[in-house]
Amino acid sequence: MTYEDYLKKAYYDPSHPGSYGGVEKLYKAVRKEGKYVLGRAKIKKWLEGQETFGLHRQINRSFRRRKVIAPFIDYQWDADTAVMKSFSKENDGYAYFVVTIDVFSRFANTHPLRSTQGKEMVTALQTLFRRGRKPTKLRTDKGVEFRNRDVQRLLKAEKVDFFYTQNEQKSSYAERCIKTLKSRLYRYLSRHQTHRWIDVLDEITQSYNAAYHRSIKMAPRAVTKKDETRLWKLQYSTQHYVKPATRGYKFRKGDTVRISHVRQPFDREYDERWTMEYFVVDDRGTKDGISYFTLKDTLGDGVQGTFYQSELNRVRVTEQTMYRIEKVIRRRRHDALVKWMGWPVKFNSWIPLSSLKDYKSEEKERSDDLSRDDSSSVATPVSQSSHRSVYPLGRTMIFIRVNSRRGGDDMMEDFYLHLFSGDSLSTHADNHAGDFVVDLPKRFLLEGTWECALTELALPSQPESPNPSTLRLCRRGRGILRTEQFLAALAIHRTARGRNFGVYQTLLRQITSNRLESGANLYKRRPVTGMSI
């Protein structure tokens, strides 16, 4: 029995003193038994490869974050929406109020809302801007009340730079302001035995702006341009600087990690705390003495935002790593299309039926005394990267399916484009056909940067005689392949590590009978850098 088998039997045996715990508990139990001499580092490395340990590992949510710095008055506003739905009947249907706060001066503005729809939010923001102050930048959370088309059009017209946060802290200044305002409102409601808050919202807001604020050592409404230098020194000077930790980066580029779940109001400590899907560290940096990381998924697509070290958890992935299957979508003679539990639908893939295993049956065969509450299927990722993806373009649906011929070197990719009449692809600048990224069933070494895009796609009213389209496959702009009737076969011969990986064919098929607006441009190249074996 190897030490990995020994640790597995001990950790998953409910009666064992080191079972289902952390590194220290398992280490002490193993040391007491004395069957193997294992250090904490080796036990920790083994536990990082166990999904049970990784999903429920303790999360540190109280850690030092980067400071939001605003250089002058009205440089950046934070905005958020306060919910008062339980009192809407007593307040003429008003169920919310929007709060904006200037990060530099802490000056707040409020406006009541009946709903969070875009048009009503536009009216509220226009009212706030007409009061004589307007920000250079506006930061919010990812709520649709700010990210909708109407609000974005207004902010663009007002030349306000909009951005939103990706982490659970959201618009921290606005959230803290809402807490203060609602606390005062509820005290007023309790004192007067009423539920009508709309009549005093402006007065409560004025009271907030007139009160002494400990962060700026004065009242927000008293802050003027003459105070900017003093307030800058007060808030951001070196005397308030916290010396950064001397420890280096916890993760390196290429490390595989999970992301902590955003905390919900009723989260329990024993719930799953980390994502089942794992990601790859793409880059890292330091700002204000605090380390941060950027990530990409296993297909190479970047993940929005940056992450602190405490929001990441290293995971060990090996060839023996098993993946739970949420459901089998479709079956063929020898294959099954599966949805992987905890992974996005773009990772749905065809896998051999032989790699499908029932969890409990598999564990019984291994004679392991493991205990699980579910009997979901698992599979080794024999061809997990072979998948079928769906990309929406309005009503247009673009499907990608990748199949591999087992036992041979030939690979075929099928691109299916369902295009509807009248679709304006210009409104989907970030989701064009040139954005396709398709992984191979294996990892091959392709040196240099390759680009693949479909361009100048046009269909006449009669689908029986389609016009030619262009498939561009090049290295640093080398060569254009013209195709007829949306059918192209391109052989790619590459040699890596002294041997030929064979011929890989790309097949492009147009299977729609609908008409696309003539001259619609699907061209937006997306470089795909070399992939390693």
In-domain check, residue 447:
yes
CATH number at residue 337: 2.40.50
pLDDT at residue number 276: 81
- For residue 129, being part of any structural domain is answered with yes
Say if residue 211 is in the same domain as residue 288: no
**CA torsion, points 317, 322, 325, 329, in degrees to nearest 10?**
90
* Residue 416 contacts residue 401 (beta carbons within 8 Å): yes
- Same domain? 429 vs 472: yes
Cα atoms in the Cβ-side hemisphere of radius 13 Å centred on 436: 31
Question: Which residues, in sequence order, are CB contacts of 39 under 8 Å at separation 6+?
Answer: 27
Beta-bridge mates of residue 113: 96
Indicate the number of domains in the chain. 5
Q: d(Cα 387, Cα 346) in Å, to the nearest integer?
A: 7
Q: What CATH number is associated with residue 228?
A: 3.30.420.10
pLDDT of residue 98: 93
Domain span including residue 15: 1-48
- Are residues 337 and 289 located together in one domain of the fold? no
Residue 279 resides in a domain: yes
Establish if 418 belongs to a structural domain: yes
Is-contact 177 98, C-beta < 8 A?
no
Q: Is 334 exposed, middle or buried (0-12, 13-18, 19+ CB in 10 A)?
A: exposed
Closest by Cα among 241, 216, 240 to 229: 216
Which run of H or of E encompasses 350? strand 349-352
8 A C-beta contact, residue 444 and residue 496 = yes
On whether residue 171 sits in a domain, the answer given is: yes
Same structural domain for residues 337 and 285? no
Same domain as 95, residue 220: yes
- What's the rounded Cα separation, in Å, for the pair 396 and 18? 54
Q: Is there a single domain that holds both residue 121 and residue 228?
A: yes
Q: Among 282, 299, 290, 300, which residue's Cα sits nearest to residue 247?
A: 290
Q: Are residues 366 and 428 in the same domain?
A: no
Question: How far are the Cα atoms of 321, 337, 360, 365, 372 from residue 375, in angstroms, in the given order?
Answer: 17, 19, 6, 15, 8
Q: What H or E segment, with its residue span, contains residue 180?
A: helix 172-192
Distance, CA of 455 to CA of 335 (rounded, Å): 33
Count other Cβ atoms within 10 Å, centred on residue 246.
5
Residues 228 and 135 in one domain: yes
The residue among 204, 236, 268 that closes a domain is 236
For residue 64, tell me if it sits in a domain: no
Q: Are residues 400 and 509 in the same domain?
A: yes
Exposed (0-12), middle (13-18) or buried (19+): which is 100, by Cβ within 10 Å? buried
Q: Would residue 344 count as lying in a domain?
A: yes
| 3-class SS of residue 322 | coil
Each residue's pLDDT, cut to its tens digit, for the chain (533 residues) gives 787 778 877 777 777 777 777 777 788 888 777 777 788 888 887 777 776 666 666 666 555 666 677 788 889 999 999 999 888 899 999 999 999 999 899 999 999 999 989 899 999 999 999 998 999 999 888 888 888 999 999 999 999 999 887 655 555 788 889 989 998 998 888 888 889 999 999 999 999 999 998 888 899 999 988 888 888 888 876 544 555 544 577 888 888 888 876 544 334 344 456 788 888 888 888 876 778 888 888 888 888 778 888 788 888 877 777 777 888 888 887 788 888 888 888 888 888 877 776 544 444 544 444 333 333 444 443 333 333 333 333 333 333 333 333 343 333 333 333 333 233 334 333 433 333 333 333 333 333 333 333 333 333 333 333 333 333 332 333 333 232 222 222 222 222 222 222 222 222 222 222 222 222 222 223 333 332 22
- 298 with 339, same domain: the answer is no
Q: Same structural domain for residues 81 and 224?
A: yes
113 and 164 share a domain? Answer: yes
Cα distances (angstroms) measured from residue 414 to each of 352, 406, 443, 460, 494? 19, 17, 19, 22, 21
The answer to the question of residue 200 being in a domain is yes
The reported pLDDT for the residue numbered 484 is 26
pLDDT at 167: 59
> Burial code of 419-444, b = ≥16 C-beta within 10 A, e = fewer?
beeebebeebeebbbbbbebbbbeeb
- Contact between residue 223 and residue 231 where contact means Cβ atoms under 8 Å apart: yes
